[in-house]
Structure 1
Amino acid sequence: MIKKTTYILLSSFFTCAVLAFIEHGIEINYVIKTVCKISFFFIVVWVYMKLFKDFHFKQVLALSKMGRREWLKVMILGISSAGIVLAAYLLFLPQIDLNLIQQDLTDRLGITATGFIFVGIYVSFGNSLLEEYFFRGFIFFNLPRKWGYIYSPLLFASYHIPMIMLWFTAEIILICFIGLWVIGLVFQLVNEKNRTIWASWIIHICADLMIIIIGLNLFY
């Protein structure tokens, strides 16, 4: 167990540190950064599977683990998460420079108005699955429970900060960090009973869809 825990902690921390460096240390577009993220996440999980042989890619994706009541609860939480995102946006809008965000997306990440639509679809459905699989399906489910509840949401929150650090003030970034940490805890709570990532993924999709809908204002 110690070896498994050590591997998960070190490999996931290293991966997120490298991704943070790639985010700002190398001038590459969003597509290449996405390929790097997918590759690093896959390699970390694949190596774990080869070393310890107690985890399989499919085991956290089993639909049979979700009952009707769970799906209803998830949908309510998903709609609520979208509402919270919208409320937070409206609350902090006076402190947000939308032109700065749009310029960063275009200049640094190479995202155009047309490209934003495709990026939005990927972020909402593909990237959300990738993150849920890595942070909840892999890290949380394979760490000792106490370690999982401490480490996974902290890493999840920290991993997002480099992506938004040029967009907001220090105060808003701190609020985002706390919010992401709380979200990480909630995602783990809704997943823990059935040991599948479907619940958190659906909620994650709803939140990301609202973010993308809001983001359309940047280009249209």
Structure 2
Amino acid sequence: MVKMRHRQYKGSRFIFGRQIILMAMNKEKASGIIVLVIICCVFMALIETIIEPAYIVKSALKVAVFLLLPLVYAKITHTKLLDEFFKIDKRGMMKLFVLGSFIYAVILGAYTLTKNFFDYASLVQSLSADQKVNSGSFIGVALYISFCNSFLEEFFFRFVAFIRLSKYTARKIAYIFSSGMFAVYHIAMIGMSFPPLMLLLALIGLAIGGLLFDYVDSKNENIYHSWVIHMFADFAIMTIWYLYI
């Protein structure tokens, strides 16, 4: 009986010690992901707002920073990053495209209701100048933003900064961090193009949008849902941009 109790005590100590080690490892991995995301966002914000290279150079840098760098980091630190990335619910894809079409209609509807209150022409002109986009390059830029850029941002802000981060920390923290960084990054990128009121609305809208994107990805733990929604939102934005370019 004494020996049995001793073995149980040793077993409980082993389990407790293992839990402490796992908690420490999870905290380290969570901190690493958070630091990585912040550094990448700051770097790209500097590229977008200060260095301002040609659009193709900026796009190549974004691929390197938002896609390749997290993959290299995961390899070096032995952090599982892509083990669930390729899961997809084929039966739900049609519903996603219906939802995406609804998002497209909502954004265009909001534009129709507000175009008499906001000077979209000046906004598009300012944004086009900042991004070095003209009527000749618009189609290529619009396709890149809608398909490639939306994927990069969903991979980075949703898959890395939310889905993978939530494996190592509380999901509530991952929600706040992912949506917050998504909003702040975009505001840093487009802030000079927007008047103060629209800037505030954009910040709130981006944060809420980030939370919604996180939520729709949380069930299946992949980015296909948010990517499709993001694409259709970009389709709508590109449509409005095209009207004034």
* Distance in 2 of aligned mates of 1:116 and 1:190: 30
Contact conserved, 1:19 with 1:37, CA < 8 A, in 2? yes
What residue in structure 2 maps to residue 48 of structure 1? Answer: 74
What residue in structure 1 maps to residue 43 of structure 2? Answer: 18
- The residue correspondences of 1:159-178 to structure 2 (distance < 5 A) are 159-178=185-204
Which residue type is aligned with residue 87 of structure 1?
G
TM-score (norm 2): 0.80
What residue in structure 1 maps to residue 155 of structure 2? Answer: 133
* Distance in 2 of aligned mates of 1:198 and 1:178: 24
Residue 67 of structure 1 deviates from its aligned partner by: 4.5
Identity of aligned residues (%): 33
* Distance in 1 of aligned mates of 2:157 and 2:31: 15
Tell me the number of residue pairs that the alignment of Structure 1 and Structure 2 aligns.
Answer: 214
* Distance in 2 of aligned mates of 1:86 and 1:188: 23
Residue 147 of structure 1 deviates from its aligned partner by: 1.7
* 1:131-172 CA-partner distances (Å, limit 9, x unpaired): 111111111111121221110011111111123212221111
SS at match of 1:166: helix
TM-score (norm 1): 0.89
Aligned-residue Cα RMSD (Å) equals: 1.8
Contact conserved, 1:125 with 1:205, CA < 8 A, in 2? yes
Unaligned residue ranges in structure 1 (runs of 5+): none
What residue in structure 1 maps to residue 11 of structure 2? Answer: none
- The one of the two structures with greater contact order (alpha-carbon pairs below 8 A, sep at least 6) is 1
Residue 103 of structure 1 deviates from its aligned partner by: 4.7
Contact conserved, 1:132 with 1:197, CA < 8 A, in 2? yes
* 1:36-72 CA-partner distances (Å, limit 9, x unpaired): 111111213321232024222x731333xx152x334
